[in-house]
C-alpha cells in the first residue's frame, strides 16, 4: 500500500488483505474472473473515489507461481511510469492471496478514480476544438516516447486505456502486461504504436497522425526514419489485425 493511504485505510479498519477484499466485494456476485467496482470511501474532508479491481482464480492458478500477479504487475508498472514522467492513475494498494504451495487464488489493485474521466475515444467523439485534440495527441506521443526510451512497453496501448480527466489532461491506465523489455524491442515498439493507430485512423486526419509520429520521434519534419516507421506500423497493423484494417 502507498504509505500516504495507510493511516486512512487503518482508520476504516481496512488494515489487512481480507478486510479490504471483504469491504469491496460484499453483496457482489463474483462469477467472473475479473471484478471491478467503483467505490466512495469516507474521509474527514469528504470522500475518496477509488476503483477496486480483483482477479479471481478457481482453481488456483499455476500460471503465476513464483511470478507477480497482474494486479501486482500493474501496481509496480504505475510506479515505473510515474518515475518516467508518464501520467498514470494514482495507485493506492495491491494484494495477492495464494494457497499453501504458492498458487494464485486472487489478487487486487486499488487506484484513485480519475475525476471526470472519459476514454480518448469518448473525448474524440465529443468533437473537441482542434487545438485540444492536437495537444492530447502530442501528450500521448511524448508519453509513448518516454516509455520506449526507457525500454518500457505497454502491450495494450489502445485508446480505451488512455483517459482524459476533467481538465482535459492525459492519464494512462490498465497496464498489467507491460514492463521493461530485454529482447524484441523493435517489434514491441511497433505493437504499441500500431495499437494507437487502430483508433487514430478513425478519429484523426492524416496530417495529425503524421504530426504524432514526428512528435514521437522528436523531429520537426519528415525524413527517411519517420517514413520507415510509418510504413512499418501500417504493415504491422494490417498483418496483426487484418479484420480491423480499414485503411491507412
**The predicted structure's pLDDT at residue 242:** 87
| Mean pLDDT, the chain, integer | 92
Same domain, 64 and 142: no
Query: Three-state DSSP class for 116?
Result: coil
Mean pLDDT, to the nearest integer, of 99-120? Answer: 95
- The C-alpha cell 489502445 sits at 158
Cα–Cα distance between 174 and 36 in angstroms, integer?
A: 12
Instruction: Please tell me the predicted confidence (pLDDT) of residue 243.
Output: 80
Q: What's the confidence (pLDDT) of residue 212? A: 97
Shared-domain flag, residues 85 and 123: no
| Per-residue exposure over 189-208, b if at least 16 CB sit within 10 Å of its own CB, e if not | bbbbbbbbbbbbbebbeeee
List pLDDT tens digits, range 112-144.
999 999 999 999 999 999 999 999 999 999 999
Residue 107 shares a structural domain with residue 220: no
If asked whether residues 108 and 139 sit together in one domain, one would say no
DSSP state of 244: G
Least confident of 3-17, 103-117, 193-207, 217-231: 3-17
pTM value is 0.91
- CATH for 135: 1.10.510.10
Shared domain check, 158 and 73: no
CA angle in degrees (0–180, nearest 5) for 143-124-154: 30
Average pLDDT over residues 67-86: 96
Gap between the Cα atoms of 245 and 241, Å rounded: 6
Question: Which pLDDT score, from 0 to 100, does residue 247 have?
Answer: 60
105/25 same-domain check: yes
Strand, coil or helix: what is 61? strand
Domain boundary among 68, 90, 112: 112
- Catalogue the long-range contacts made by 175-179 (C-beta closer than 8 Å, 24 or more residues apart): 175/74, 175/77, 175/78, 175/81, 175/88, 176/70, 176/71, 176/73, 176/74, 176/77, 177/70, 177/73, 178/73, 178/77, 178/152, 178/153, 178/154, 179/73, 179/77, 179/152, 179/153, 179/155
How many CB atoms lie under 10 A from the CB of residue 26?
Answer: 7
Verify that 50 and 68 share a domain, yes or no.
yes
CATH number at residue 61: 3.30.200
Name which of 2, 28, 35, 50 is nearest 107 in CA terms: 35
Indicate if the pLDDT at residue 169 is higher than 90.
Answer: yes
Output the pLDDT for position 7.
83
105 and 154 co-located in one domain: no
Q: For position 6, what pLDDT does the model report?
A: 85
Residue 44: pLDDT over 90: no
What is the extent of the structural domain holding 151? Answer: 118-244
Calpha distance 52→60 (Å, rounded) = 21
Please report, rounded to a whole number, the percentage of residues in the chain having pLDDT higher than 90: 76
Domain count, the chain: 2
Mean pLDDT is lowest, of 2-11, 174-183, 212-221, for: 2-11
Listed range (50-64, 75-89, 205-219) with the worst mean pLDDT? 50-64
Amino acid at each position: 500500500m502507498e504509505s500516504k493511504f495507510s493511516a486512512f485505510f487503518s482508520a476504516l479498519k481496512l488494515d489487512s488483505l481480507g478486510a479490504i477484499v471483504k469491504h469491496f466485494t460484499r453483496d457482489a456476485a463474483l462469477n467472473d474472473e475479473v471484478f471491478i467496482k467503483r467505490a466512495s470511501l469516507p474521509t474527514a474532508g469528504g470522500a475518496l473515489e477509488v476503483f477496486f479491481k480483483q482477479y479471481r482464480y478457481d482453481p488456483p492458478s499455476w500460471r503465476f507461481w513464483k511470478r507477480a500477479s497482474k494486479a501486482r504487475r500493474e501496481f509496480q508498472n504505475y510506479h515505473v511510469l510515474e518515475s518516467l514522467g508518464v501520467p498514470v492513475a494514482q495507485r493506492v494498494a495491491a494484494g495477492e492471496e495464494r494457497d499453501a504451495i504458492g498458487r494464485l487464488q486472487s489478487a487486487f489493485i486499488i487506484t484513485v478514480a480519475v475525476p471526470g474521466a472519459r476514454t480518448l475515444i469518448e473525448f474524440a467523439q465529443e468533437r473537441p476544438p482542434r487545438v485540444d485534440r492536437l495537444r492530447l495527441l502530442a501528450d500521448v506521443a511524448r508519453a509513448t516516447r518516454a516509455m520506449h526510451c526507457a525500454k518500457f512497453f505497454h502491450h495494450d496501448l489502445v485508446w480505451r486505456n488512455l483517459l482524459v480527466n476533467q481538465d482535459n489532461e492525459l492519464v494512462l491506465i490498465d497496464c498489467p502486461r507491460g514492463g521493461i523489455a530485454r529482447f524484441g524491442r523493435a517489434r514491441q515498439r511497433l505493437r504499441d504504436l500500431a495499437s494507437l493507430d487502430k483508433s487514430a485512423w478513425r478519429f484523426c486526419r492524416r496530417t495529425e497522425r503524421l504530426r504524432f509520429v514526428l512528435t514521437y520521434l522528436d523531429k520537426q519534419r519528415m525524413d527517411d526514419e519517420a517514413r520507415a516507421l510509418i510504413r512499418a506500423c501500417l504493415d504491422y497493423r494490417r498483418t496483426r489485425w487484418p479484420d480491423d484494417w480499414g485503411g491507412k
